[in-house]
Amino acid sequence: MKIQITCTMKLPVEIRKKKKSFVAFCPALDVASQGSTEEEAKRNIAEALFMFLRSCYERGTLDAVLKQCGFEPVMEHELVRDVHPAPTSAAVKQEYLDIPLYLLSQYEDNRQCHRA
């Protein structure tokens, strides 16, 4: 039996106009990209973030990278619901992008993923 899960991260992205291009930056993970239009910059930063997260997962470093970036697990009742980002200048557009990380496992009834 195959099991598929999707983990989605809602990450802040800042988009700035730079001469003839747009630069997109995710300060939470220190990942940047660019594009000739704002939409292209958003698509490119979404792809860069997906590839960064996937690469971290595949190398077994996702936990360490998230901890290094200041993330820590919390219970749902501890979540801050009304997160208000710091004000940005008029030249910087900030928004949140949903970045999915798809995982697939070949599950066998006799297999244990955690061994005591």
Query: Could you identify the residue written with the tokens 């730079």?
Result: 18
Question: pLDDT tens digit string along 53-88?
Answer: 999 999 999 999 999 999 888 887 777 665 555 556
**Is residue 12 within 8 Å of residue 26, measured between CB atoms?**
yes
CA 32 to each of CA 23, 25, 76, 81, 93: distance values in angstroms, whole numbers, following the listed order: 7, 4, 30, 26, 14
**Is residue 43 within 8 Å of residue 26, measured between CB atoms?**
no
Overall pTM surpassing 0.85 (yes/no): no
Pick the CATH number of 2-73+91-104 from 3.20.20.70, 3.60.20.10, 3.30.160.250, 3.10.105.10: 3.30.160.250
Question: pLDDT tens digit string along 2-45?
Answer: 888 898 999 999 999 999 999 999 999 999 999 999 999 999 99
Q: State residue 75's pLDDT score.
A: 81
CA 115 to each of CA 2, 13, 111, 112: distance values in angstroms, whole numbers, following the listed order: 21, 39, 10, 7
**Is residue 96 within 8 Å of residue 10, measured between CB atoms?**
yes
Instruction: Spell out the domain ranges in the chain.
Output: 2-73+91-104
